[in-house]
Amino acid sequence: MKISLAKSSPLSQVNFTYGVATAAFQIEGAADSRRACIWDTFCATPDKIKDKSDGLVACDHYHRWEEDLDLIESLEVDAYRFSISWPRVITLNGELDPQGVSFYIKLLDALNKKNIKPYVTLYHWDLPQHLEDNGGWLNRETAYHFRDYVELITQAFGDRVYSYSTLNEPFCSAYLGYELGIHAPGIVGKAFGKQAAHHLLLAHGLGMQALAKNSPNTLNGIVLNVSPCYPKTDAEEDIKAAWAADQNLNHWYVMPVLEGKYPSSIDTLPEAEMPPIEEGDMDIICQPMDYLGLNYYTREVYQATGENEREKWVDESLPFTDMGWEVYPQGLTDILLQLNKQYTLPPLYITENGAAMPDTYANGQVQDTNRIEYFQGHLQAVSDAAEKGVDIRGYFAWSLMDNFEWAEGYEKRFGIVYVDYATQQRTIKASGLAYRDFISRRHFAKSA
């Protein structure tokens, strides 16, 4: 099975960027050569990770990075999105750790040599544990520690980076980590979620200022997860429920970074849940951005269950991924069009999109046709939005390879490359081959 789009699609043009994405904690391993982060602690807490696993070895990418870069090159992608492990590059005293920095410099140099553009995420959820011990994202000071880290690391990297994003999915850090407690650091409480979110947004703004100063020539922005929120029925309560979810999930992050204010749903928050906004914060949060990265996996449908209460509904007739998420490509077109209508957007990148599927490895192959269908549907969905005028410049498949899927452990496989964790052998899945062929056909189309 092939992935294909019309030759006239904006996504078929050679200047559209295709990449693969990973994150440090999910692939690196080599935990003994860095300081601890909140995910190490969370994994060591009983019953937090489904398969009781951890990130100590993961895909052992820290030791196998050269082989992995050859793999990335063989996929013929234009770009590689990966994250820096903050506890690997910054010491307890807040100084650069030369060993950690040199790992990433080698990686960056090798990517540049191969002509693969490095898209660097500065924070993909692995907060240094010593900062968590001081309150983590509930403590305003953490935002300033983040700025200091960005200051130092950008100086060390010099001109090796093509694009930076400050944070990956602050919604998940705040809501899953500090409100529901199902991600590290496992803190529970409504007010905590909004407090953490505010400090993450502040960290983004301070990080953007540091980037503007030290790295004005890279594409600088943030990565947010988005899902369109639909009402289950046309009933007024359901419409209100979907609206509230949309404010909380999407606009709570998009609006501050682009317009310097929280959405109007802030007026419905009880006093105890108000974010701790200090004078000047919203101006710091709203910095000029070269792009906005969006991660999309599925849609959300809501029904009201009471006054200000809602629950998610799923359509059993749709296909599902191994995560139990509905496969709903139309949702990606919808959210892109909705955001484009409501905001003056910078250029967009789809910084993550992909699916966990119950892969089977047999005879040296993984025939993941369902994942190819997922990519086909979602690339078409991005193309549809681009044809309707949304300025989208790139697309990154999540993920380069199977890896540590947070609270789900290693049982959920998102890779376009299969990882045998016992031997660390990598095998490109049928979806990886289809993605490679799709990307490379653009070049033939041009020269033909």
Binding of ligand FCB at residue 296 (CB under 6 A)?
Answer: no
Binding of ligand FCB at residue 405 (CB under 6 A)?
Answer: yes
Q: How far is the CB of 258 from ligand FCB (least distance, A)?
A: 20
CB distance 60 to 33 below 8 Å: no
CB nearer to ligand FCB: pick between 232 and 410 = 410
CB nearer to ligand FCB: pick between 224 and 284 = 224
Q: How far is the CB of 387 from ligand FCB (least distance, A)?
A: 27
Binding of ligand FCB at residue 168 (CB under 6 A)?
Answer: yes
67 is catalytic: no
DSSP string over 15-26: TSEEEEE--HHH
CB nearer to ligand FCB: pick between 178 and 237 = 178
CB nearer to ligand FCB: pick between 124 and 251 = 124
Binding of ligand FCB at residue 227 (CB under 6 A)?
Answer: no
Mark 337-356 with x for binding to ligand FCB (rule: CB under 6 A) and - for no binding: ---------------x----
CB nearer to ligand FCB: pick between 128 and 170 = 170
Binding residue for ligand FCB (CB under 6 A) from 62, 414, 418, 435? 414
Cis peptide bond N-terminal to 185, omega within 30: yes
Q: How far is the CB of 69 from ligand FCB (least distance, A)?
A: 20
Binding residue for ligand FCB (CB under 6 A) from 396, 406, 410, 435? 406
Binding of ligand FCB at residue 300 (CB under 6 A)?
Answer: no
CB nearer to ligand FCB: pick between 246 and 405 = 405
Helix (H, G, I), strand (E, B) or coil at 433: helix
Which residues lie closer than 8 Å to 271 by C-beta, 6 or more apart? none
CA atoms within 13 A on the CB side of 163: 28
Active site residue: 28, 169, 326, 405, which one?
Answer: 169
Strand-by-strand arrangement of the 300-306 sheet: 229-231, 300-306, 309-313
Q: Which of 426, 438, 436, 408 is nearest to 361 (CA)?
A: 426
Binding residue for ligand FCB (CB under 6 A) from 3, 11, 20, 23? 23
Near ligand FCB by CB under 6 A, which window of 164-172, 242-250, 324-332, 374-382? 164-172
CB nearer to ligand FCB: pick between 10 and 293 = 293
Near ligand FCB by CB under 6 A, which window of 131-139, 167-175, 262-270, 284-292? 167-175
Give the per-residue SS3 of 208-276. Answer: HHHHHHHCCCCEEEEEEECCCEEECCCCHHHHHHHHHHHHHHHHHHHHHHHHCCCCHHHHHCCHHHCCC
Residue listed under structure tokens 């309150």: 135
371 DSSP β-pair partners: none
What is the DSSP pairing of strand 361-362 with strand 365-366? Answer: antiparallel
Near ligand FCB by CB under 6 A, which window of 5-13, 133-141, 165-173, 213-221? 165-173
Number of residues that bind ligand FCB (CB under 6 A): 12
Mark 185-224 with x for binding to ligand FCB (rule: CB under 6 A) and - for no binding: ----------------------------------------
Binding of ligand FCB at residue 169 (CB under 6 A)?
Answer: yes
Give, rounded to a whole angstrom, the gap between the first and last alpha carbons of the chain: 23
Q: Which of 314, 300, 305, 179 is nearest to 250 (CA)?
A: 300
Q: How far is the CB of 171 from ligand FCB (least distance, A)?
A: 9
At residue 352, what are phi and psi to the nearest 5 degrees? -155, 135
Question: Tokens standing for 415?
Answer: 């890779």
Return d(Cα 376, Cα 422) in angstroms, integer: 31
352 is catalytic: yes
CB nearer to ligand FCB: pick between 123 and 302 = 123
Give just the sign of the alpha carbon dihedral 226, 378, 430, 81: negative
Active site residue: 132, 300, 326, 352, which one?
Answer: 352
Binding of ligand FCB at residue 398 (CB under 6 A)?
Answer: yes
DSSP string over 111-166: HHHTT-EEEEEEESS--BHHHHTTTGGGSTHHHHHHHHHHHHHHHHHTT--SEEEE
- Residues engaged in binding ligand FCB (CB under 6 A): 23, 26, 168-169, 172, 225, 295, 352, 398, 405-406, 414
Residues marked active site are found at 169, 352
